Each structure stands twice: as structure tokens, then as C-alpha cells.
Structure 1
């Protein structure tokens, strides 16, 4: 297609044979041979493939035409690094009549440390020695870093893979091992054959290049199997780790065996491969990658220890495992045709992942968490002018990384949840099953999905969802109460609050989901509307709420009196509805369409709330408020901190200081949340408790800090302006000798909370040191960018050392994008907007331009918000006794 930068269509791959050998652990290089069976569609005298950072040594074709076989050696090799294409010129034309054509490419590559392609991860062995493991990360366009290929999702093929490694290593790939024997050319490579083995794997199903994977190193594993039978026997499932960590894979393993069975049942399609392996990688830019049959993970997304891990990681592991397993159907079995429909992979895997976690752990109330976190993050990003539609044009695969974001994942998942709730989950999933069966082993479009669900539901789902998928933004429903009933008008919501006619050209199909009356029953008279406004008659005006359980992807702006009344009727609301009410009130105030004072007054109605998820939303919104008002007078900043303390303290005192063995998960999370927030706003009692605990920890008693308060304690200790060198060193020690699999990540997120000038310099200096792995650089930006006391100082540091920072960040575009966005995202003044714009004006920002623009939109909105409501907030805090 002319609107995409794709390879020519005169040949198409049908099968790859990929061999990797000659791994050099000193030079970090390897050699490879790739053979590609081709279907010749048009006569051609050249073949183009994708490549990046590979040295092509030789290329030739074996051709068969009417039973005559001959070889063609490439006469010239041309490289176009800008588009990552290598062209093999042929001395004669490859005819359409070729019944067989196999291209063989011999090449060498680099085992990079950039977490893409075939790369190395540094770690410390169980014996305390620095060493490496090796694995792959190909999505979206990095298979070409590992072997020359047709690196596009629609160009599916089967794969045979083999790798030559030391005898003591474990080698893994998508399919089971079929043989392991000494390599025939061991002597030729300068290594004794008896020291090596060549491991060969079974042929994969038809799949895209980005799903091929392999890993090798000194591994161990825990194993289990499914309860259901596949191909007549339980499916074997293993979690691989480097030596000494395998027991921490038990929780992920227990989740995986159950989730495979669950998805096989609800999609009515059995998991198709003969095994599933999951492996923890010590360096990983994302959370995980869904390679078919060999899922790779960041360690904190797959490993968990009940005794030493922060319990928040338990839900993370369960969800990430479920998300990646959902991809075995959504993405692997059925793949989007091109990256503009990335959401077909990621939106569905996100929604289905939460479905599975809810099935496994119904007591976790995960869809309330989904609304509090996933829905809110999606809505927050989509309220910016420089957001993008769920289905977004992608011209070049080199631009696709910037849409692996909250729109593709979270707005996509929220839109799916919306239509599923409207149609009924059973009907929706039956339609999804039809879609998967119709397009198995192939590529599909969004319209194919809607057609399958429409057939099952008997309604035109495509028409309902068209604007949700293809248009940017979402509506704000403004409610007006009249004698005729409740009038509801929709218009686009922008965080900047300056919606003009040119911005408000979309009319969405909106499911209303109104509950009303003493029993909070669903009001059926008007279930949805597709117009700019509608009037709903017959509601019980004593109580009603729009958007039951927040299944609709929109915000609701109630009249001030109605919002205040709802704040006194919270006992009639589900935890999900409470979350939605709080989030909508906050963001509408942020957009200058509501009142920040009204939001604070609303929160006072939640003093006796018991739900962890509701408190999590309250804490998140108050943190955002304190962050945005970081340059307001001291009285305002201190007043907001005091308001936070006073609001949370009764619940904390009810819970108590000590975690209780056997208490339910959400109670433990609520106590941990209270510790985190009260520590952040420096509650005197909590800080004194932390200091006592930390003194024991620093003296050598590592168990003095329970895993659920480690983050809160580190943050409180470091943010003390009198933090000592000894305290700093004790925390810094977690980087070299972490107390748990998540302790290093927790520590890095704490290091930017320092306030003492000497320690500020030390923490900033760590960013360009080998103490902070590249995968965690954005966690440093989270920490410093989120610290109002240091935000400007950190930005000045970034500007002053941009050349060195940029050089390191550029090695992985995902990390670079996150780092830039998180560094600047929390500013809230015109001064910051102008300074950031001026700095990047002459910089190459192509790889993070979208995120930069979104961050600037956010800053502009926050600047207007603080200017509008700053004085009112100051007056309210004083009037209510929170400030002098």
C-alpha cells in the first residue's frame, strides 16, 4: 500500500531455517545462517529484506524451475540503513515459474546490551560472579537485528531454529527441543566439538517474525501442567530462571497453568503449541513479551516471593502472566495485518488478562482496580490534544514504538469492556471465539472482529464502535436537571478545557448505564444515545448515577449540588462507582470545567471508606493535586499535606501498624498504601515509626523492614533533609545486594526523593553510572520528576548533560521515550512549558515526539488549572483549618 513503508511484494516468505552459532562471550558477537523458502509472485532481479546492525557475508539463491535446479549468487549487496533494508542484486531474473526458491544468507551479528534483537543481560550469579544470559526481544521491528528477514506482521511463515551453545547451557525456543548433539563444524569455529552442542527445535506454526524467540544460558526451572488435556495429555508449563531463583517462579507457574485452561475454554480454542515456557530476563525494556511458546519477562513481572516481595507485585505478576497468555490467541494465533491495528493485540490482551485474574482471584476486586488505574490512565492520555485514535495510521514500522501506550492498551481495553458490558459478556466472548476461529494462523482487521461479534449479538457493533476506535478523544457528559427530566449533553473532553467547535466534531454512541432510586436499580428507559444531547425522564431525583460500574469510556459532569449529594450517598455506590465519581470530579476540576474545592469537599465524604481500591484512587488524585501545586505558597503545600494526613489517619489507626499473618490481600494492600501516603506527607507518628524500623535495618537486621513498607520507609528516610550519609549508603546497598527480587526497583524509585543537596548530586550522578541498568533509567525519572522539591533541579541536570544522557537513552527507544516523558510530565507552569519547548526545539525528537507533545499538553492544562483554582484552594484550606 502506498501509505506504508513496506517491502516489495514480488516474493513472499513461506519458511525460515535459522541457525545461530559461534557465540563469542568476550567479543559479544555471533554468527548465523538463515535460509528462507520463497513464493515468487513476480519476476524480479533483486530481493529486499529487513536488517539492522548485521554484517552480511554471503547471499545466494537455490532455484528450481521445471525440475531444473541452479544457484544464483548475489552480484551486489546494497544497504539502506535509514529504512533498514538490504537489497540482494541478482545477476539474472528470478522467474515466476520457480517452483522452489530458497535464499541463504550468511551473516554475523552483535550481542548488544540494548535489550532488543538477540541481546545479553548482565547479572550476578548465585556464586557472586558477574555473568550474562542471552535472550531475544523482537517486537515490533527488531527481529531484523538478529537475522535478515521479512520483518512485517502480515508476512507470516513457519520457522525451524537451531542454536549452538556450551554443553552446560540450556537453550530454549518457541517449540520443544527435538535434538541436541555436538556441532559438525565445532573444530572449524575454533572450539572443541565436545564443549558445544547444537540444539534443534521443532517447526513452529505459521507466525510473524516478531514472535520468534530464543534464549540460552545457565538456567534452572520449576514445572507444572494444566488440568485440561491437550493433544491427549496435560500441557507442560515451565518457568525458567538463572540459578538460585527458580522457587520464585512458583506463583507465576500456578497462575499460568490455570489461565491456559481458562482461555482455552472461554475462547473455545485449545492452546495450540505442545508446551509453554516462561523465562525471567535480568534486563528487559518492557514488562514482558508474548513470544509464542516462550514468553520472556522482566524479573519483577514473573518472580514473586511471599516472604520478601512487596505484595503489590503479586497482582502485577498474575496480571502480566495472564496478559501474555491472552496474546497466545490475540496476536499470535490471529495477528493484526499492520501496526495501525496494534490495539487488536494489546487492547484485547489487556482486557482478557484482567478477566483471567478476576477468575483466579475474585476477592481482589480487580475490575475496580482496572477502573482506578487502567481506565483512568487511558482517559488521562486521551484528554490531550496530541493523543491519537485507538486505530492510528502508521506509515513506518520505525514509528510504531510510540503507540505502545495507554491508548492502544488501556483505552483499547476499556472500549472492549464497554461493548462487552453492553452486549453481555457471554455473547461478546462467543463473538470473539468466532473471530479467532475464522482467522486462525492468519491476519485480521478490526472490521473482522466487529463482524463476528455482530453476527453473534444481532446488532451492528461496527457502527456503535466506529468513532471509539477511529476518532481521537472521548465525551464529557454534562448533566442539567430540569422540570422535563435530566438533560445529558455530550461534547469532547479536553484537559486544557478549551474545546472549540473544530475540536467537537465527533458524536459518540454512548451507553448510559444509569442507576436510580433507593435500590440503585438500573434504569432501562434510555440505555444509550447517539446524539449531542438527550433528556431522560422518570429518574428518581433523590438518587441517580450515570455510568454504572464505570463501564463507559467517558466522564460525567454533575451540577455542583448533585455532586455534593452523591458525596453524602456513597453507601449506595459500588467501589467501582466511587472510584469513577472521585476520578471524574478531579479531572473535570483539572480541566477548569469544575471546582477543585468541590473535589476536596467530595473527598470529605469518604473518611470512613473501607475499600482499598477507593482509597488508592483518593491517594492518587491527592498526590496529583499536591504535585501540580508544588510551586504554590508554603501554606498551600503544607495545607494539602495536612488535609491528606487528616483524611487518611482514621483509617490507618483502625488498621494498625502491624501486618497480620493470613489477613486478606486487600487489607494488607490498604495498610501498605496508608504507610506510603502518610510517609510521603510526613505524618509525625508514621515517620517516627519508620525511623525506628530503619535504624534496625541499617544496623544489619534486614528483616526489620517488611516488604510492604520498604518503599515507604526508603522514601521517608531519603526525603528527610537531614538524611545521613550512612542512611543513604544503607539504602544504596540494595542495588548490589537486594533483599528481594523487587528491592532494586523499589530502591531506584526512591533515590530521587532525596532533599539534602550532597545526596541530590550523588543520586543524579548514578544515572550515568553502571549502578543503574538501562532498563531502570525511567524509574529514576519517575523518582526525580515526581519530586516537587527537585523537579526543576533535575530538569536543569538533564539539559546540562543531555549529550551523554541522550547517547545512553538512544540505545533503546522505549526507555528513551519513557525517560523524557516522565522527567517533564509533572510540571505545571507556563515557565516550564516555554523552557521545555525551547530546549527541544533544535533536538532530534522523532523517536519521542508524540510523548513530548503529550507532556507539553499536560503541562499547559496544569498551568491553567493552578492559575484558576490556586487562590480558591488556599482560601478553602485556611477556612477548614488546614493552613494558617
Structure 2
């Protein structure tokens, strides 16, 4: 699935530099799931009305403890082979106001070991008798095989099982079929088989759609809901006239039928390939579509009819075919399905989900409108589509055995999204942006003592909440970063050869990550590639221990050493490491501008004579940040690098200019170098016009805003940054003809937003006048002349400097706009106001689904918290309503880590630390679900912030005062 809780670059820049709020970029994970086709068995048992809800026969009290049904993992004695599922969603409410679906399922399974117990996942489903008053029927595939009778059937809610206790044993080697009739609610909880709503021409429309990953297929029908339990699926959907039904398989036929006195449509789909339950999908809607063919693969884009009519699906349609072809060549494996449907949903919890043959998206990740969508909106669409298409092979064709290796799916897809997007838009140089978007971003989390390894122990990941906790920045961004590093030191050709044989060997099967190491080693051996140790030995140091090293180079002696990098060097690391926190480090480096041969650091320290320099020569390591580590130097080399930046910065590659800034600021936070030395890396920026160094500086200076925007440091800091950004502001003003034109380059368009945003944030008068004038003109004339690239920053700053009139105008536009990209820009900008009463009202709106869609609730609260005025309001709001948020927005919601981090990111006082600890204690009984680790990380981060301020405040204040006057 695509990374969720997404913030586009332009929006991220606004969040960072808005006049009222210091916003830290929030990532999360977007999760979208592929699902499979199922066999129908010519079943037409669907009732014409919801089946009666009956209590299961047998005891209703708790069963004996420590039985198989008390364990969260399925036993391996039963293996599914094929499902036949018929579902009938109701798109109108019943007498009680509920939207329901009814269904029938039969699953054929193989008995691998004799047992008298059938465990199959089921969650929030109720069952009706199938025969003899029992809630299930068991038959044998072969008529002559003996079938034991059913003693009792019950639901084990804690572990989410339908339990079928038999009177005798199933026979090892035989095949059986379990049949059930069930009912569930099409709730608006964004999980399983759920309900999405929108308004079209004043009429409410209802969609029945799915989101199964990680453990929600069991909410749609009873199933063996683990990734290794692959099977084929025949799906039949019974739906209202005037609606269209979709599933993973291609439609076989749609016929009209009568159920009672109601005419309905029955759509049958082709049997799926062998696949995991979390990849299954089905949708019933009134959507329209556009289509094309690419090498006999049918490509369709589905969305709301007005969106399709407005051409918002054209960009996705035009890019999907070429990307699919690229990945076929890259993986050397043909796309194994006859179609690729992509659907934009009004309500979707993540960015997208890689359901096989039926990819689902949040509208902003699929629909592009030339008039309203920005450059960053287009990039998001390209990268998310590429991410999901990359999953068609890594995740869908070959799937991790268990969720502890989720990084194998998501790390490869995140890396692949840059490759696919580069193919779609080769002029963007988008592959460079992985350094800012993923490498630097995940460094911030992986430098905490409460981080975790990429691959966890299987036994440590059992419960759904533990699984959902894995959908984090480590899994996505660190996974992508080490895949990129591996591709670099192996070379892309060897890397491709290895995973191509891996895909062929394990097609339609499950693997563990070491299977990939084996195939990469085969490619290394076949090509004679030189490595200091085996792929397994090298990569396990990056996968099996958390964190990363800081490599220190003494250019006076040539001595090189490594050490576990921690933002707070005094924090206690309790997670054991099988390698004692040492890594096998590949080092690409240059000497005074000349690139040198790849060098390896295999031990804690070593002498590398080639890195010894004299005179004016300097060393720069980790070229293009290909390696997943930070670099420190002796002071003399630092001075030479800073001198190079200030005299001729282009002698240092642009990615490494961004790296020097980011490394320096983080080394300072870790007390390895002085904070004022890190600040020195920003003095050259008044001569810099490239996007990546500016983005790196702004991201790091945002921490200073978070720590100091409530203190006396704020004024001198503003003065210094205003001085630094004014040349950049004037550069883009001249380049664009006083903001009339759009810069040509992709990253130039981003840096124009940087220039305006930081200029306005630092109270540059000309910038403030520019944003308020354009926004006021829109209010007065009703014509929005602001270019989509600039709208996020213009809206935010105009609302920040304005009052209730500006806020109400934006709110009205938000409520009456149907373009998803524009809706997001307005929703985020509304959090920029300085009016506390408006922010409080907006917080209340966030938990009202009639005001703010459920998919956007958590991120809206975070945007408010990113505003210095809104932070305490949001924190109080979350604390007061935690029990409600936890119950209404899903105890296992993947948004909780982002919510907890977002509302506490500014914490830097002892009082705030005690509040945070009290919040943890007060809600221990309620729990924190997938946000548990994020809460511990927030406490750790707050402790580090308190120490950092105490040690750095005075020096930072004096430095800003001196530099702003120089």
C-alpha cells in the first residue's frame, strides 16, 4: 500500500513555513490491498432479506483458556485451496438505520494434519443456520470420504475466530468444504467491507467498497486471513440496478435477477490467481470510467461521474500503461492478470491499496485536474500509481510469509515508485528526491532508542494492533533506503538479475527475506561481482538491528570508524543487537571533487590511507547519499567543506549539499559537533537556488521553530532567515516575471513555493502583501487567479494574517468544492489561522464526519497542532477525547502514530513531559493500539528536546543575533 497520511511537497512546505505554525512533515502509511477472484459453485442461496441473527449453538460462556482458539495465529493443520463467495451489499439503510451486507461463503481446504477443530477468521459478522440449526455445514470434496459431524459452532471474539468443534477428526490428506451464511454491517469505519458516501447533484450516493490489509478480510467473509494462506477466489456480487460491480477478476457476466420482489443485478467474476486474502477487493458503485489497452491488458480508471467527465482520470490512464510495461521489463515477468482497474474513492483510509487487479486510491492520489492540481499533486499521483503497480509483483505475485517481513513488500514498492515515476516523467529527476522524502525522513525516527529493526521476530508480531504498528516509516522509508543502497553497491544490473530469478522461483508463493538474499547472491556469483562478504552477511546487519551508524573520517590520519547514531546519546538502548550495533558499510566518496572507488568499512574502525588528505584537499563521503548512514569529519575537513560551499558550492553535488546540511544539524543534536557549526552550513544559502539544499535546511530549521517559537530566540531567528531567503524570493520573482509565469523545472517549481513560504513565514512584507492581495482578490471577485502550485502557501498565509472573514470564506469553498486536490489545500490551510476560537471550532469539526471526512480526521487535528497557537488546543482536545477517538476511529488505526507524534512534536518542557507521561498512565486501560510505540517515542523525544534546549539556547540566540546583523 502507499504511504498514508500523505502531505504533498507544496503542502509540506507550507506546513513548515506558515507564519503561525512550525509544521513537521507527517508521513504515514497509506495502505491499499489487492484481493482475489473466487469460485462460485453455481450457488444461488442468497436470501432476499437479511438472515436472522441467531446465537451460536452450544455454550455462550468463555471457553477453556489456552486452547488453540485463544492464540492469534492459525494452526498449520488446515490449508485453504479455493473460496466461493457471494455478497449482497445494501446501499440503503434498513429500518434501524444500518447499512448491511449479506453473504454466503464456501471454502475448500486441505487437511494437512488430523484435527477435530476448524478455526477460521471472522470479525464483526453474525451467522445464520446453514443446516440442522448449525451455523456451518461441512462436506467432503470426494463423496466417498467420511465427514465428522459438527458438535458446536461459536465466535471467539478476542482472537477473531469462527470456531467449529467436530465430533471426530478430519482425515489427513482429504479435502473438505465449509459453508456459511452471514451478515455484516457496511459501516463507515474504512475497514473490511465498508461504506463510503458522497453527494452528486444534491443527491447522496453510497458506495460499498473494501480495505482488507492487514487483517480486515475477516470482516467481509469468514476466511483463513493470513498472508501465507493463499487460495483462489470466485466472487459473485449481487447489486442494485444502476450500479456497477468490480472485483479482482474480470467480469464474466452480469445478469438481471429477482430476489423477492426486488430486481437486482448479479455479476460473476473470473477466478483469481492464487493470492492472499488481504489483496481481495470488491466495489459496488455508480462510478463511471475511462479505459485503454496496453499489450492486451485492459486498464480502466473509475471515479465519481463528474470527476470522469471533467477528465480527472486522464493523467492516471495515460501513465498506467507505460508504467506497467516498464515494470514488466524491470521484473522480467509479464503482468499476470487481464486487467488493471484503478478506483478513486471519496473515503479511503490510506493513500492507495495494491489489490490485485483492482487498486483502490484516495481521490487525491489518482485524480488530476489541470486547473486545480499542483505540481506536487501530479507527482503524488505518479508516485502512488508507481508504488501500487510495483506491488503487483513484490507483494502480490510473491508475498511475505508473515507480517514481520512487511518491509520486504513496502520497501521494494517505495523504492520502485521512484523508478516507475521516473519512467513516466523523466524530466523530473525524481529519483533524487528519495533522499529527502525517505532517507532523511526515516533517519529522524531510526535515530531513537525506541526504534525497531526492519525485520521483527515472527513470534513478536501476533495481534492485529501489533501488525498495524509495522506500517510505519521504518518499514516504508528505511526499507526503500536499504534497497536503494543494495542496488547501488551490487549495481543495478546485478540487483535486477537477482530479484528476477527470485520472482520466477517464488511466483504465487510466500517467502522470507533471506530467500531474496539467496537469489541476489546467485547473481553476484554468476557475474563475479566483488563483495567483501556475502549478501546475507552484509544485509543482515541492516535488517536485523535497528538504527544506523555515523561514520567518522579523520582526514589527517585516514582513520575511519563507525558508531550507532542516537539523537540523544544519553538514551538507553534496551533492544539487543545480534551485531553489537556495527554494520558492514559501503562507502562511495570523493576527494576534492574527484569520485573514488567504492570502499567498505567492515569493522568498528579501520585505517583507509586513501582518505588521508593534505593542503586544500577535502573528502566528501556517501556520494548521492547512496548509503544509509551519516558522516562526520575532523574539524579541518568540515572547515574545508564549508569553505567550498561559500566559495563555489556547485563543486559539491546538489544531493550532497543537502546531505551536509542534514548531517550537520543532526550531528549537532547528537552532541557530536556544535550546534552553531550546523548553523554555519546555512550561511551560503543566500547564493543557493537549488531545491534540495533549501528543502533540507528548511526541514532542519523547522526543529528550531518547534523548540524556539515560544521563546526569545524567535525574533533573531526570524531576522536571520528573512535575510537568507530574500535573495531566493527575488530570484523567483524575477524568473517568473513578478509571479506571472511558472518555472520550467520540476524542482524549481517546488523551490518557488519554498521561497514564498519562508519569506512569508519570516514576515517579509512584500510576501505578506502578495499573499493577502491575491486571496482578497479571490474573495472580492470570485475568480481564483492563484496558480495551483502556489495555492497551499497562499491560502495558509492569507488565512494566518487574516481573521474570521478569510477563514469563513475558505471554509465555504472547502464545503462546496468537489475537486479532491483543492479540498485538501483548503482543509490544511484552515488550520493556519491565528484565531484560537476558530481553531477550537475546527477541532470539533474534525470529529464530525458531516464536516470532515473520517479519512481526514486525524490529519486535520495534526495540522492544527502544527500551528503554534493550535498545538496546546489540539493536545487538550486529544487528551479529553482519547477514549472516543480510540473507539470511533479504530483501535488499530494506522493513523494513531501520526496523531500522537503530531500533537506532541513541540513538547520541550518538563511540564509537557509530565503531561505526556500522565496521558499514558490515564489511558492505560483504554490503550493506544498502533500508537503505542509512537507514544514511547514521543516521551523519548521530549526528554531529548528538554536537554537540547538547556544546552543550546544561549549559543543559538547569540549566533542568530550576530548573523542577522552581519
TM-score when scaled to structure 1?
A: 0.94
What's 1:409 paired with? 476
Counterparts of 1:303-322 in structure 2 under 5 Å? 303-322=367-386
How far does the alpha carbon of each residue in 1:773-820 deviate from its partner, in whole angstroms, 9 at most, with x for none? 111122223312212233223212322333433333336612333222
Out of 697, 715, 718, the position equivalent to 1:618 is: 697
Contact 2:450–2:573 (Cα < 8 Å) also in 1: no
Contact 1:153–1:335 (Cα < 8 Å) also in 2: yes
What's 1:333 paired with? 397
Out of 438, 445, 453, the position equivalent to 2:512 is: 445
Contact 2:122–2:218 (Cα < 8 Å) also in 1: yes
How far apart are the structure 2 equivalents of 1:44 and 1:67?
20
How far apart are the structure 1 equivalents of 2:375 and 2:862?
21
What's 2:594 paired with? 521
How far does the alpha carbon of each residue in 1:404-426 deviate from its partner, in whole angstroms, 9 at most, with x for none? 11111111110011111011011
Out of 683, 698, 716, the position equivalent to 1:604 is: 683
What's 1:565 paired with? 640
How far apart are the structure 2 equivalents of 1:730 and 1:238?
37
What's 1:837 paired with? 917
> Secondary structure of 2:852's partner?
coil
Is 1:63 paired with 2:139?
yes
> Secondary structure of 1:83's partner?
coil
> Secondary structure of 2:335's partner?
coil
CA spacing shift, 1:686–1:559, aligned 2, 3 Å: same
Counterparts of 1:261-276 in structure 2 under 5 Å? 261-276=325-340
How far apart are the structure 2 equivalents of 1:820 and 1:141?
23
Deviation at 1:741, TM superposition (A): 2.0
Out of 425, 430, 437, the position equivalent to 1:361 is: 425
Is 1:376 paired with 2:444?
no
Deviation at 1:69, TM superposition (A): 6.5
Is 1:18 paired with 2:49?
no
CA spacing shift, 1:605–1:24, aligned 2, 3 Å: closer
- Structure 1 residue runs of 5 or longer lacking an equivalent are none
Deviation at 1:73, TM superposition (A): 6.5
What's 1:433 paired with? 500
Contact 2:548–2:564 (Cα < 8 Å) also in 1: yes
Out of 672, 686, 692, the position equivalent to 2:773 is: 692
Out of 160, 185, 203, the position equivalent to 2:271 is: 203
Contact 1:40–1:95 (Cα < 8 Å) also in 2: yes
What's 1:42 paired with? 113
How far apart are the structure 2 equivalents of 1:274 and 1:29?
31
Is 1:104 paired with 2:176?
no
Deviation at 1:501, TM superposition (A): 9.1
CA spacing shift, 1:805–1:5, aligned 2, 3 Å: closer
What's 1:470 paired with? 544
Contact 2:891–2:929 (Cα < 8 Å) also in 1: no
> Secondary structure of 2:687's partner?
coil
CA spacing shift, 1:615–1:4, aligned 2, 3 Å: farther
RMSD: 2.2
How far does the alpha carbon of each residue in 1:162-203 deviate from its partner, in whole angstroms, 9 at most, with x for none? 1011121111111110011123xx333xx423xx10000000
Is 1:153 paired with 2:233?
no
What's 2:939 paired with? 856
CA spacing shift, 1:566–1:871, aligned 2, 3 Å: same
Deviation at 1:502, TM superposition (A): 7.5
Is 1:579 paired with 2:662?
no
What's 1:192 paired with? 262
CA spacing shift, 1:77–1:500, aligned 2, 3 Å: closer
Contact 1:375–1:414 (Cα < 8 Å) also in 2: yes
How far does the alpha carbon of each residue in 1:491-538 deviate from its partner, in whole angstroms, 9 at most, with x for none? 101111226798882210001111113xx22222x6111111122223
How far apart are the structure 2 equivalents of 1:97 and 1:523?
61
> Secondary structure of 1:245's partner?
helix
What's 1:658 paired with? 739
How far apart are the structure 2 equivalents of 1:757 and 1:192?
53
What's 1:532 paired with? 604
How far apart are the structure 2 equivalents of 1:72 and 1:107?
23
CA spacing shift, 1:364–1:43, aligned 2, 3 Å: same
Contact 1:47–1:87 (Cα < 8 Å) also in 2: yes
Is 1:880 paired with 2:957?
no
What's 1:396 paired with? 462
Contact 2:719–2:964 (Cα < 8 Å) also in 1: no
How far does the alpha carbon of each residue in 1:546-594 deviate from its partner, in whole angstroms, 9 at most, with x for none? 1011011011122344223212323212121111111111111122222
What's 2:725 paired with? 648
How far apart are the structure 2 equivalents of 1:523 and 1:277?
47
Contact 1:61–1:72 (Cα < 8 Å) also in 2: no
Contact 1:79–1:85 (Cα < 8 Å) also in 2: yes
Out of 318, 336, 360, the position equivalent to 1:296 is: 360
What's 1:129 paired with? 203
How far does the alpha carbon of each residue in 1:265-287 deviate from its partner, in whole angstroms, 9 at most, with x for none? 01110110011000001111111
> Secondary structure of 1:292's partner?
coil
Out of 937, 940, 948, the position equivalent to 1:865 is: 948
Deviation at 1:39, TM superposition (A): 0.5
How far apart are the structure 2 equivalents of 1:354 and 1:730?
38
How far apart are the structure 2 equivalents of 1:395 and 1:145?
20
Is 1:277 paired with 2:341?
yes
Contact 2:720–2:963 (Cα < 8 Å) also in 1: no
What's 1:88 paired with? 164
Contact 1:11–1:39 (Cα < 8 Å) also in 2: yes
Deviation at 1:74, TM superposition (A): 3.9
What's 1:236 paired with? 298
What's 1:114 paired with? 189
Contact 2:192–2:216 (Cα < 8 Å) also in 1: yes
How far apart are the structure 1 equivalents of 2:244 and 2:788?
32
CA spacing shift, 1:147–1:73, aligned 2, 3 Å: farther
> Secondary structure of 1:465's partner?
helix
CA spacing shift, 1:63–1:831, aligned 2, 3 Å: same
Contact 2:449–2:572 (Cα < 8 Å) also in 1: no
How many residue pairs end up in the alignment?
860
TM-score when scaled to structure 2?
A: 0.86
Counterparts of 1:814-825 in structure 2 under 5 Å? 814-825=894-905
How far does the alpha carbon of each residue in 1:841-877 deviate from its partner, in whole angstroms, 9 at most, with x for none? 1312243111111222222222222221110010111
> Secondary structure of 1:742's partner?
helix
Deviation at 1:24, TM superposition (A): 4.7
Contact 1:114–1:811 (Cα < 8 Å) also in 2: no
What's 1:220 paired with? 288
Deviation at 1:705, TM superposition (A): 2.6
Counterparts of 1:780-799 in structure 2 under 5 Å? 780-799=860-879
Q: Which has the higher contact order (CA 8 A, sep 6+)?
A: 2
